[in-house]
């Protein structure tokens, strides 16, 4: 059986800098994979390559065996790969509901788009803010909106770019519940995150990157004990790094 997502020797160079270096991995249907690494490890560049927002210099990215590289961004989204942004990008002047309606409209959703959008908002626990302008949302709610908009594209694979960045412990807890619910609904997840403790509670596999390369890939506990990973995190123990690790 083909994996849902396959990255094959993905390399991305910026001039002399190799931000992502021969990265290969697969993500199975229904999995929840964490992607970790220190700042500059190449996570975000890899993330952009996986979602069509950047083109790898070489290598291939496939969804169910079909290459995504030649597709324009909206077709990548249309084929089932959705993403959120580390720095949230709402449509600030649009009401929350309208933010979520946009992907539904371009997917030519049949029936009542507003009702569908509201359903998506309920999934992330944001239905009570449907009519608010998104510029009035708290950071935690903006992260939910980001997720709702991605979910509204009807993804098989959802890539979350630092969903916990900038959130309070409380907000992280609530958002984790939401993400767990998505997982239970069968959405395949790839999560880039610095807050490792919170991440490990969500994922069943971790890929660690350092200087553009994958240095460990496997069970969360095993990866976190991996000497290369510990070294990459400045030699400290993972728990301590979690405290210092956020941006």
Partner 1 sequence: MTDTAAHAKPSAGSRAKRFLKPNVVLLALIPLFLLYLPRFVENTTLLQAISVATIFVMFAASWDILSGYTGQVSFGHAAFIGTGAYTVALFSKYEPGVSNELALLAGVLVAALLGVAIGVPCLRLKGPYLALATLSVAGALVQITFIYKEQLGGEDGIAGVKNVQDGAVTGPLGEGLSKLVLGPLTFGGKSPFDQYIYVSYFVALLAMVLVVGGLMLLGYGKRGLVLRSIQQDEAAAEAAGVPLTRYKLAAFVLSAACAGFAGGLYAQIRGTVALDLLSVDLSLLIIIIAAFGGAGSIIGPAIGAYAVILLQNYYLDRASDVFVEHPELKIGSFALLLIVVLIVAPRGLVPPLLQRLSGRGSPSRAAGAALTESA
- Interface ranges with partner 1 (CB under 8 A): 51, 53, 72-74, 77-78, 82-85, 89-95, 97-99, 101-103, 105-107, 113-115, 118, 121-122, 125-136, 149-150, 152-153, 174, 177
C-alpha span between 27 and 2 (Å, rounded):
10
- Tell me how far, at minimum, the Cβ of 247 lies from partner 1, in Å: 20
3-state helix, strand, coil in the chain (%, to 5): 40, 25, 35
- Scored b (16 or more CB within 10 A) or e, 146-163 reads bbbbbbbbebbbbbbbbb
Q: How many CB atoms neighbour CB 36 within 10 A?
A: 30
**For partner 1, the closer CB: 149 or 205:** 149
**For partner 1, the closer CB: 45 or 99:** 99
- Tell me how far, at minimum, the Cβ of 87 lies from partner 1, in Å: 10
- Tell me how far, at minimum, the Cβ of 223 lies from partner 1, in Å: 28
- 111: phi then psi, degrees, rounded to nearest 5: 80, -155
List strands edge to edge, sheet with 58-63: 17-27, 5-14, 58-63, 66-67
- Tell me how far, at minimum, the Cβ of 146 lies from partner 1, in Å: 9
**For partner 1, the closer CB: 149 or 195:** 149
**For partner 1, the closer CB: 8 or 53:** 53
């Amino acid at each position: 059986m083909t994996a849902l997502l396959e990255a094959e020797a993905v390399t991305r160079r910026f001039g002399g800098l190799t931000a992502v270096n021969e990265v290969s991995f697969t993500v199975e249907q229904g999995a929840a994979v964490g992607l970790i690494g220190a700042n500059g490890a190449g996570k975000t560049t890899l993330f952009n390559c996986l979602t069509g927002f950047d083109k790898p210099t070489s290598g291939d990215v496939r969804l169910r065996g079909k290459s995504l590289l030649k597709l324009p961004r909206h077709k990548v989204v249309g084929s089932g790969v959705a993403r959120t942004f580390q720095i949230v990008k709402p449509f600030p002047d649009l009401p929350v509901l309208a933010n979520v309606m946009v992907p539904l409209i371009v997917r030519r959703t049949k029936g009542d788009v507003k009702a569908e959008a509201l359903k998506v908002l309920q999934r992330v626990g944001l239905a009570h803010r449907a009519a608010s302008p998104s510029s009035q949302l708290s950071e935690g709610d903006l992260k939910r909106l980001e997720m709702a908009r991605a979910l509204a594209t009807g993804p098989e694979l959802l890539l979350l770019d630092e969903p916990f960045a900038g959130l309070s412990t409380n907000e992280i807890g609530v958002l984790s519940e939401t993400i767990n619910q998505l997982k239970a609904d069968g959405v395949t997840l790839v999560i880039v995150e610095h807050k490792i403790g919170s991440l490990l509670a969500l994922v069943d596999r971790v890929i660690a990157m350092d200087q553009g390369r994958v240095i460990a890939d496997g069970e969360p506990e095993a990866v976190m004990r991996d000497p290369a990973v510990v070294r990459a995190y400045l030699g400290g123990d993972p728990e301590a790094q979690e405290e210092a690790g956020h941006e």
